[in-house]
Amino acid sequence: MKIVFATNNPNKLEEAQELLPFFNVVGLKDIGCNEDIDETENTLEGNAILKAKFVKEKFSVNCFSDDTGLEVEALEGAPGVYSARYAGETANADKNMNKLLDALKNKTNRKAQFRTVIALIFGEELFTFEGVCKGKILENRVGEKGFGYDPVFVPDGFSETFAEMSMEEKGIISHRGKAIKKLVSFLLTIRY
């Protein structure tokens, strides 16, 4: 079964393809959508739904989208929905991590969680799935794998950052992995 993941991020697409091996998961470029879908909502749920609706309305395909935020307790949940552009609209992962580490200087509470919300539009129905991974923010970056804030995030129960884990290891415990597992369970009920 073919399903569109409303993303232009090759890292996210590859991660989803690994976690959804029974489906032909394609990205926006694969369906000829080369535009960035503005995330104008102020919640992760709102942005995920907005992107899925955009793709469904424009291309009439079954699709899912996600929005993910890093929520840091000492920063009252920031950067949250603004995680990708925490250091500004043209920010990249390095700038975002620099701003985060600077904001946490001299703070002893390093608790944080990644939260992913997936919005699926299948047929004409909308479904949402959430995954959370709790952990802490390190004082320095460690590891070369992953993307985004992975080099500074250590999930609870582990000593390695996401950036030190293989995609398979990360997929088992990550926020996106948990949300996609819920999505997969649901899709398998439709598929059979």
- List the catalytic residues: 67
Torsion over CA of 162, 63, 118 and 156, rounded to 10 degrees? Answer: -20
Q: What is the CA radius of gyration of the chain?
A: 16
Whole-angstrom distance, CA of residue 49 vs CA of residue 119:
5
CB–CB of 71/113 below 8 Å?
Answer: yes
CB–CB of 102/44 below 8 Å?
Answer: no
CB–CB of 39/67 below 8 Å?
Answer: yes
- Do you know the residue count of the chain? 192
